[in-house]
Structure 1
């Protein structure tokens, strides 16, 4: 039975006859707050270390793979590493996005450390995106260090829907891009570049949806059931994809990895992208000087600094990097929007009326710190 027939069927017999079952069984999307709080770590760690590393792990990553692990050497001395088991070879064969995500992790780490009165000494170890050991970190107590409001880290969220069409004001754009202007371009929804990026995003998603390697990879990182959510503590969940209510119940109970490979699922995904790009204030484009490991880490940190500001102004961010992941669209995008620098992020942005709490999962510290 295909999905269209299935939904038609569930709108009658299953949903009506099973409403009592729904109300008394699987009534909620598993969210980050539903994971048990960890009480102790397998490696003896000081409480400040735990807080810093947990906050660092709230960084964004493609498909929420969380592609980092931490080698613990001694108190406040760690190596941040690249977890090849979490690479997305289907859409990120050169691990560019992996290094960008580790950069965002480092930015969170530094902000969290500063908040507790520590300065960070970073020593780059990696020369390629595939190296396991990326950066050595040592923390030390410091006086008069500028503290960061870490609640911004805890409340950062990806929002995909309900964007307003109002363009970003100059005041808000200046606030968000402060000290980052050399590496940020904003294309409002009134510009020809905005229309171009919309069209190319749709095309890139169409290509990717029908490229089986990419679609299989996506399927493997979707946690359909609450049981898988508790088991893996990573990936995409119905809640993070903003599938709520009865629809969320159907997905959690009747969808699996094979569902993602069906034509109807692929077409529905493309239709959703078309709807998404039709709602926004425009695009933010983040660039870097080159594609070295250091520049990619810096670009990831830049993204995180911006992302931790936007909620103050009720601006949502939705990374849509498919243009950069598909060869056909990647080769044309620079000329299409007139950028000579290296594009690292394409971010759909827009004002929202409501800013819900984050729902994406995060692994317990025991799952990404070892010695």
Structure 2
């Protein structure tokens, strides 16, 4: 669901032009854009807003945060896709966007359980839009008070969940017991499978790198990502969605003219090549993978896959594991078709089943939260 370029150059020396390096570093965290993580749960006396405050923390492609929630009556909500937040080049059929909305749906359900409510969900109540999403609702929610309902244990990991876009520790194998625990999240409609076989993992490392190369070499898909990059604290706080490139090092490069969108989009630039080198190293440092496979090839299967992925991400967090989607290989623009077929063959998934998620799995470093728009900006009254 987003991509961060890891850029390395001699530009760190250029930061000497910035007076008071320590003070500068302390101001680079986009605190305003991270407030929604702290504010989730403040509306405990308003159950629906409490639910939305948590649900907006869900993973989603390119961090587009494509959700709009309409409050209806006293106990209902209707989920829509903000059609301006889709990804027409890398996600031409809105499949990944629906998966992100599925993550939102599952997180909403978990938050409702924390207040003693069951969240009844009706997917696509006015029909499944094809080939792309339209103005019809993605889901109807109804909050039902249920005596004795237990808080879903995965809810405890909501604020610690991350999509960790860093190299993982290759000296620490993911235990078979952890893969088995993640597999227990499977349902009759969706399979969650952990992959730790060395030969299969090596094959997937090569294929995810091949897919990244295809996306970055295809002008329109690469530009789609670059256009959504937010460079430095000011840009991130002004638009806390898309691909945030923050922190002392990257902002320092931007301030010294060594990191610009023009450079990132130019495959001959040093910025592009350094990002390429770092992304290759990151993908290579992957000890295991996780896949999510739906039996239903339609929109309902996409939504269900998103719900399952969210649970897997939270369960992995509880196990001390890191995860990161590597969705390039599953994208449906024409140039990716060959790589997509190879990945499906590598994990032995064929029609009518549908491979919806492929994620890196391992032990990674601690990372910050991903910026978010405030919950209030995602809510409207019916």
Same-fold status (TM-score > 0.5): yes
Shift of 1:89: 0.9
Residue 103 (structure 1) aligns with: 102
Unaligned runs of 5+ in 2: 1-7
Question: Compared with structure 1, are the counterparts of its residues 271 and 317 closer, same or farther at alpha carbon in structure 2 (3 Å cutoff)?
Answer: same
Q: Does 1:348 align with 2:357?
A: no
1:148 aligns to what?
152
Deviating more after overlay: 300-309 vs 222-231: 222-231
RMSD between aligned residues? 2.7
Q: Do the aligned partners of 1:120 and 1:139 also contact (CA within 8 Å) in 2?
A: yes
SS of 1:71's partner is: strand
1:250 Cα deviation (Å)?
2.0
Higher mean Cα deviation, 174-183 or 49-58? Answer: 174-183
Taking the aligned partners of 1:277 and 1:37, their CA distance within structure 2 comes to: 30
| 2:295–2:354 Cα contact (<8 Å) kept | yes
Q: In the aligned structure 2, how far is the partner of 1:62 from the partner of 1:169?
A: 28
User: Is the counterpart of residue 175 in structure 1 residue 181 in structure 2?
Assistant: yes
SS at match of 2:281: helix
Question: How far apart are 1:274 and its partner, in Å?
Answer: 1.6
Is the alpha carbon distance of 1:107 and 1:220 closer, same or farther for their aligned partners in structure 2, counting shifts above 3 Å? Answer: same
In structure 1, C-alpha distance between the alignment counterparts of 2:37 and 2:208, rounded to whole Å: 40
* Structure 2 residue aligned with 1:257: 261
Match of 1:187 in 2: 195
Change (3 A) 1:135 1:220: same
The alignment partner of 1:140 has SS state of strand
1:22–1:249 contact (8 Å) kept in structure 2: no
Q: How many residues align?
A: 353
TM-score normalised to structure 1 length: 0.87
* Superimposed CA distance per residue, residues 1-46 of structure 1 (whole angstroms, 9 cap, x where no aligned partner): xxxxx954x455x333x24243344544434676456999xxx995
Match of residue 212, structure 1, among 206, 212, 219: 219
- 2:317 and 2:12 map into 1 onto residues whose CA distance is 37
CA 1:178/1:237 → structure 2, altered by over 3 Å: closer, same or farther? same
Partner residue in 1 for 2:348: 338
| Correspondence for 2:53 | 54
Post-superposition shift, 1:163? Answer: 1.1
- Structure 1 contact 280–348 (Cα < 8 Å) conserved: yes
What residue is the counterpart of 2:369 in the other structure?
A: 359
Q: What is the match of residue 71 of structure 2?
A: 72
Aligned: 1:306 with 2:312: yes
Q: Which residue of 2 aligns with 1:229?
A: 236
Query: 3-state SS of the aligned residue for 2:198?
Result: coil
What CA distance in whole angstroms lies between the structure 2 residues aligned with 1:351 and 1:38?
A: 23
Gaps of 5+ in 1: 1-5
TM-score, normalization: structure 2? 0.84
For 1:39 and 1:271, the matched residues in 2 are separated by 35
In 1: Cα distance, 2:116 partner to 2:362 partner: 34
